[in-house]
Amino acid sequence: MRLEHWLFTLPLRIRSIFRRRQVELELEEELRFHMENRIEEAVRNGLSPEQARQQALRAMDGLEQRKEEMRDARRVHWLTDFIDDLRFAARSLRRAPGLAALVVITLALGIGMTSTPFSMVDALIFRPYPVPDPGRVVTLVSTSRDTAFGAFSYREYLDIRDNTRSYEGVVASVSPQSVGFSARPGETPQVRGGMMVSGNYFRVLGVEPQAGRVFRDDEDLAPGRDAVVVLGPDFWKREFASDPSVVGRVVRLNGRDFTVVGVAPNEFQGMFIFMRPDFYVPLAMAPVFSTNPAKNFFEDRDDRELNVKARLRPDATLAEARAELAALARGFERDHPQVSRDRGAAVRTQFEMRTRGDDINWKFSVIFSVLAVAVLLVACTNVAGLLLSRASTRTREIAIRLSMGAGRLRLVRLLLTESLLLALMGGLGGIVVGYGSLSLMQKFQIPSELPVTVPFRMDVRILMASVLVSLLCAIACGLAPALQSTRADLVKGLKSADEELPGRRRLWGRNVLVVAQVSMSLMLLTAAFLMSRSFQQSMVDGTRFADAPLLMARFDPRLVQYDLGQSLRFYEQLTARARSLPGVEAVGLTQSPPLGLDDFDRLAFVPDGLEMPRDRENFISTMDTVDEGFFQTMGIPILWGRGVLPTDKVDAPRVAVVNEQFARHYWPALALADVVGKRLRLERSTGPSVEIVGIAQTVKYRGTTETPTDFVYLPVAQHPVARLVLLLRTNADPLQRVEPLKGVVRSLDANLPISELRTYRDLYRYHAVEGPGVAVDMVGTMGLVGLLLASAGLYGLMAYNVSRRTREIGIRMAIGAGRSDVLRLVMGKGLLLVGAGTAIGLVLGLGVEQLMNAMLFNAGRVDFVAYLVVAPSMLLVTMLAAYVPARRASRIAPTQALRCE
């Protein structure tokens, strides 16, 4: 029945919409046919043709109303009206193309500049884990005095897994690491990013394989027994061309044969923001992969390398889980006081993990969001101002429409349609701008063999948000002017030529818009300026070594089954042969070069002779393992004492080099020279003693914006590690030494893979220059866009005021006012607004500076230079925007001005 109904009516509706003209013609023809017959009949009855026509019309009872009733019967009124409104809006916008273009561009910039930071925030903070029911996946962290987000050891993980009841399962993983991979035994291994996970990892997270199977829980029981591997989806595509027969094949990882048992689904790219692991292996295979060589992974309770996640039971609350874990942690502290003193444990949600205070991504997200909202506000106020001035120039037009009987609601709808059209075009433009700036970010290359990606992308939610924002803009910016203009006094509106209606409130509103714009833009500019200045400053201090012509290459002899002794012998030979290469000035080894991609190891120590606080066992410092050539090669000066010497062998007394910051931190009362000779105890006050033999200059270690950091260097012979970076200082282009270096490595072991083979400057440029550079550019662009929009807004308002007061100015000039008087009259208002905006903007700028200092630079001081540059230039630009229309006003010829309506 319903269906049959639509069978007849749907074609009619469609016809009424798309063939409107035809339908109208038929309506006319049908009525004409009736009228003609009626007239013929009357004439036959003896009336004159004119009388007959009159009678026929009367019988119709109002022909035009009847037609309107017939149109109403079509039930597509709302739509055809809307289409009419759209047509009308398009026509009237075409009459003011400059204004329309300005509004659309403003909105496009505003929305585009907002969607980029928002998609960053989305990727960094809000995007849920790619697993079913991600809201119940929580992270368990070990807490101590030094970290609120620590990892657990294998033993601790087993205890948590077996002694908690709030979870459906508890999983553990080790952060992705470099693994030597060969698709076939015998092939030269390539460096790929693999990740160790517990046997229940996929099952608990709810990840179903797209081929083969995932791990079984029992594949994680016996260390070294089950050599199985699950491939990541991207890796499977790249390396195996999505070949499903790969399941069951044997691949070689770090020299050991592993059987491929399955492939993770395409939706599951791992639990990280930036990393996409290439493959997964069971935790029990840890002996094949790199764990802390100084510890026993399976036994030592203080070898904390595991990230632990768990899936909450549907009937368990977060509070219960927290209480349970805290109780368990107290048990650890009681049972293992040696290694668990002062350690607690906590349950964190995904949101808590991503908004941790020490996370640079979160900080950038906050700052970008604040600035993006400011840009959007500037854009919206600008659009509101433009539409407002447009609405008031139409006072007369609207008054005529109202007096001819147009409904007020209908008129508001018409005006709203106009701003809706503008907003939609602006929104589309914004999406284009957003895509553009995001694709610029995507081009950004991260120099790493590990599968690192830039996760920012336009997804449906961002697009929806952009469209929503533009619609809100339309309503917010369009409604007020629409309501205002339809409320206009008809008589006055008709009488005067588009005259400004008296009323302080309205003017006040527009002034507020300008003040808001100026202050917001000033804030944006200040932020941009501060950011680029702090950035410049950060590049000056402690990064001088970055300009040296250095070639770097990373080796991990464990990938070809060397033991630690073999590895150290390999490095001895490697440095000796590399040093003798032509064009090489110095050679050094380091575990991770400063400003690199890897985080530094941490060293627990007690300064010898220092009374430790009762509740504290040791201090923690970042550290690096280096050889005797490192300081010279890297160009880091030794301020006092000596660097590492070839005589610092494994059997020699243990030594360390610390940086100046470290020395001042722990011996603030001593001169640097006196710190040399002091001793550290490793791990605890009864641990091995190490003598401080030298003080190195403090440099930047993790990033250029960091504050001075404690740092300890240990000689590689006394603190052996297998995975090291070789640095070659050359006398010319470092890249010319690539082939000779490869030759050296080949002569030592043809199968040993070389990774991260590049100039150090490339690494530095990425990490220290381009990464923050993107941020600086973005904030800078926002500042410029803000300034541009504010100037345009101010210019528009001033120009509008001048055109409004043309007659008044004419009269003033006719009775003797000079040009300068007029200039003063017009500029005065602009000055006042700009002044007020600047004052508020300075306050906002100080606020942003505090925010940025607190989150990024830790400078903690006010950068007056920034304000000295920004505020006057802002004043200058905005005054110019006010001056141009004011000058035009002063050039008005009185005769002409008086003649103008």
Partner 1 sequence: MDTLPSETDMSKPSDLVQGTLDLLLLKILALEPMHGWAISLRLRSISGDVLQVSEGSLYPALHKLEQEGWITAEWKQTENNRRAKFYSLTRLGRKELESETANWQRLSSAISYVVQLTEA
Report the nearest approach of partner 1 to the CB of residue 68 (Å).
9
Among 24, 28, 69, 563, binds partner 1 (CB under 8 A): 69
| Phi/psi at 637 (5° precision) | -70, 145
* 70 makes contact with partner 1 (CB under 8 A): yes
11 vs 818, beta carbon nearer partner 1: 11
Q: Exposed, middle or buried: residue 713 (CB in 10 Å: 0-12, 13-18, 19+)? A: buried
CA-nearest of 709, 713, 710, 706 to 641 is 713
41 vs 257, beta carbon nearer partner 1: 41
Scanning 347-452, the segments in alpha helix (DSSP H) are: 350-354, 360-393, 395-403, 408-442
Report the nearest approach of partner 1 to the CB of residue 316 (Å).
58
Report the nearest approach of partner 1 to the CB of residue 409 (Å).
24
* 22 makes contact with partner 1 (CB under 8 A): no
Q: Take residue 878 and report the two structure tokens written for it.
A: 């905005």
> How many CA atoms within 13 Å lie on the side-chain side of 374?
32
Q: Are 652 and 690 in contact (CB under 8 A)?
A: no
The 122-141 site mask, x for binding partner 1 (CB under 8 A), equals --------------------
Report the nearest approach of partner 1 to the CB of residue 406 (Å).
23
Q: Are 659 and 710 in contact (CB under 8 A)?
A: yes
Among 47, 60, 400, 639, binds partner 1 (CB under 8 A): 60
* 599 makes contact with partner 1 (CB under 8 A): no
Stretch that binds partner 1, among 9-17, 493-501, 615-623, 644-652 (CB under 8 A): 9-17
Q: Which residues of 834-844 are buried (b: 16+ CB within 10 A; e: fewer)?
A: bebbbebbbeb
Among 22, 24, 66, 843, binds partner 1 (CB under 8 A): 66
Stretch that binds partner 1, among 63-71, 339-347, 520-528, 593-601 (CB under 8 A): 63-71
* 7 makes contact with partner 1 (CB under 8 A): yes
Report the nearest approach of partner 1 to the CB of residue 67 (Å).
9
63 vs 893, beta carbon nearer partner 1: 63
The 71-100 site mask, x for binding partner 1 (CB under 8 A), equals -xxxx-------------------------
Stretch that binds partner 1, among 69-77, 110-118, 438-446, 788-796 (CB under 8 A): 69-77
Report the nearest approach of partner 1 to the CB of residue 10 (Å).
9
Q: Take residue 832 and report the two structure tokens written for it.
A: 């006042």
Report the nearest approach of partner 1 to the CB of residue 49 (Å).
18
Among 33, 126, 351, 508, binds partner 1 (CB under 8 A): 33
10 vs 876, beta carbon nearer partner 1: 10
Which helix (H) or strand (E) segment is 532 a member of?
helix 504-540
Stretch that binds partner 1, among 3-11, 86-94, 346-354, 808-816 (CB under 8 A): 3-11
Report the nearest approach of partner 1 to the CB of residue 25 (Å).
11
69 vs 342, beta carbon nearer partner 1: 69
Number of CB atoms found within 10 A of residue 483's CB = 15
Among 45, 46, 50, 61, binds partner 1 (CB under 8 A): 61
Stretch that binds partner 1, among 59-67, 460-468, 667-675, 794-802 (CB under 8 A): 59-67
Q: Exposed, middle or buried: residue 216 (CB in 10 Å: 0-12, 13-18, 19+)? A: middle
Report the nearest approach of partner 1 to the CB of residue 70 (Å).
5
> How many CA atoms within 13 Å lie on the side-chain side of 413?
13
* 34 makes contact with partner 1 (CB under 8 A): yes
Tokens 């100080």, located at residue: 846
Among 14, 18, 24, 26, binds partner 1 (CB under 8 A): 26
* 8 makes contact with partner 1 (CB under 8 A): yes
Report the nearest approach of partner 1 to the CB of residue 1 (Å).
8
Which helix (H) or strand (E) segment is 535 a member of?
helix 504-540
Q: Exposed, middle or buried: residue 61 (CB in 10 Å: 0-12, 13-18, 19+)? A: exposed
| DSSP states of 748-814 | H-TT---EEEEEHHHHHIIIIIIHHHHHHHHHHHHHHHHHHHHHHHHHHHHHHHHHHTHHHHHHHHH
Report the nearest approach of partner 1 to the CB of residue 841 (Å).
60
* 864 makes contact with partner 1 (CB under 8 A): no
73 vs 854, beta carbon nearer partner 1: 73
Pairwise CA distance, residues 46 & 533, whole Å: 98
Report the nearest approach of partner 1 to the CB of residue 18 (Å).
16
* 29 makes contact with partner 1 (CB under 8 A): yes
Report the nearest approach of partner 1 to the CB of residue 64 (Å).
11
**Per CB under 8 A, which of residues 161..220 are in contact with partner 1?**
none
**Per CB under 8 A, which of residues 224..243 are in contact with partner 1?**
none
CA 233 and chain centroid, separation: 25
The amino acid sitting at 206 is: G
8 vs 864, beta carbon nearer partner 1: 8
8 vs 78, beta carbon nearer partner 1: 8
39 vs 695, beta carbon nearer partner 1: 39
Pairwise CA distance, residues 732 & 245, whole Å: 49
Angle between helices 819-852 and 806-814 (to 10 degrees): 130
CA-nearest of 314, 895, 852, 281 to 535 is 852
Q: Take residue 486 and report the two structure tokens written for it.
A: 């339809």
Report the nearest approach of partner 1 to the CB of residue 40 (Å).
10
Among 31, 373, 411, 817, binds partner 1 (CB under 8 A): 31
Stretch that binds partner 1, among 65-73, 438-446, 678-686, 689-697 (CB under 8 A): 65-73
Among 24, 25, 28, 37, binds partner 1 (CB under 8 A): 37
| DSSP states of 148-187 | SSB-B-HHHHHHHHHH--SEEEEEEE---EEEEEESSTTS
CA-nearest of 61, 67, 70, 72 to 38 is 61
Report the nearest approach of partner 1 to the CB of residue 31 (Å).
7
Among 14, 25, 59, 323, binds partner 1 (CB under 8 A): 59
20 vs 38, beta carbon nearer partner 1: 38
Report the nearest approach of partner 1 to the CB of residue 410 (Å).
22
Q: Are 560 and 749 in contact (CB under 8 A)?
A: yes
* 672 makes contact with partner 1 (CB under 8 A): no
**Cα-based distances in Å from 122 to 126, 294, 354, 361:** 5, 40, 11, 11
Stretch that binds partner 1, among 58-66, 597-605, 667-675, 857-865 (CB under 8 A): 58-66
- As a whole number of Å, the CA-based R_g of the chain is 37
Report the nearest approach of partner 1 to the CB of residue 66 (Å).
5
Reported in sequence order, the residue ranges of 422-500 that DSSP labels E, i.e. its strands, are none
Largest CA-CA distance found in the chain, in angstroms, rounded: 136
Scanning 624-733, the segments in alpha helix (DSSP H) are: 630-634, 660-666, 672-675
The amino acid sitting at 515 is: V
49 vs 818, beta carbon nearer partner 1: 49
Among 62, 248, 331, 503, binds partner 1 (CB under 8 A): 62
Q: Take residue 225 and report the two structure tokens written for it.
A: 């027994």
User: Site residues (CB under 8 A) for partner 1?
Assistant: 1, 4-9, 12-13, 26, 29-31, 33-34, 37-38, 58-63, 65-66, 69-70, 72-75
